[in-house]
Amino acid sequence: MDLLVDVVGGGLLLFGAAFALIGGIGLIRLPDFYTRIHGAGITDTLGAGLILSGLMFEAGVSIVTIKLLLILLFLWLTSPTATHALANSALETGLKPRLADGEEAASTP
C-alpha cells in the first residue's frame, strides 16, 4: 500500500516536473508574446497541479495535504487573473499579436 502511494505520488511529481519543463521550453521557443502566454500557462496549470498533487500523495492524510490543496487553489485562482491583466495591458499598450496568414478575427453570430 505504501509502495503504491509512493509510486503514484512520485509519478505525479515527475509528470508535473516534465510539464513545468515543457512550459519553460515553450516560453523560450514560441515566437511572440501572446503565444508565450500559452507556454507559461502549461507550467501554471498542469505543472503546478501535478507537482502539488504528487506532494499531497506523499504527505498522506494530514494538515500538510490541506495546506498543499489551499496553495494549489490559490495558484489556480490568481494565475488567470495575473495572465489576463498582463495580456490586457499588452493589448492596450498597442502590442499587436502575430496571427496566422494575416486572418481577420472570427466571431460567433
Partner 1 sequence: MIFAVAMGAVLVTMGLALVRAAKGPTIFDRILALNMFGTKTVLLIAVMGFLTGRPDYLDLALVYALMNFIGVIGVLRFSKYGHFADPDRKDVA
Partner 2 sequence: MKYLIGLMIALTGTWVLWSWHFTTALLSYGLASCVVVLLIARRMRVVDREGAPIDLLPVLVTYLPWLFWEIAKANVDVARIVLHPRMPISPRLIEVRATQKHDLGRVIYANSITLTPGTVTIDTEGDLITVHALTQGAADGVLSGEMDRRVSRLGSQS
Which residue's CB is nearer to partner 1, number 93 or number 108?
93
Q: Which residue, chain included where needed, has cell 516560453?
A: 27
59 binds partner 1 (CB under 8 A): yes
14 binds partner 2 (CB under 8 A): no
d(CA 18, CA 14): 6
Q: How far is the CB of 44 from partner 1 (least distance, A)?
A: 6
User: Dihedral angle at the C-alpha atoms of 101, 98, 47, 29, nearest 10 degrees?
Assistant: 90
Q: How far is the CB of 46 from partner 2 (least distance, A)?
A: 4
Q: How far is the CB of 10 from partner 2 (least distance, A)?
A: 19
Q: Which residue, chain included where needed, has cell 509510486?
A: 7
47 binds partner 1 (CB under 8 A): yes
The answer to whether the CB of 26 falls within 8 A of the CB of 38 is yes
65 binds partner 2 (CB under 8 A): no
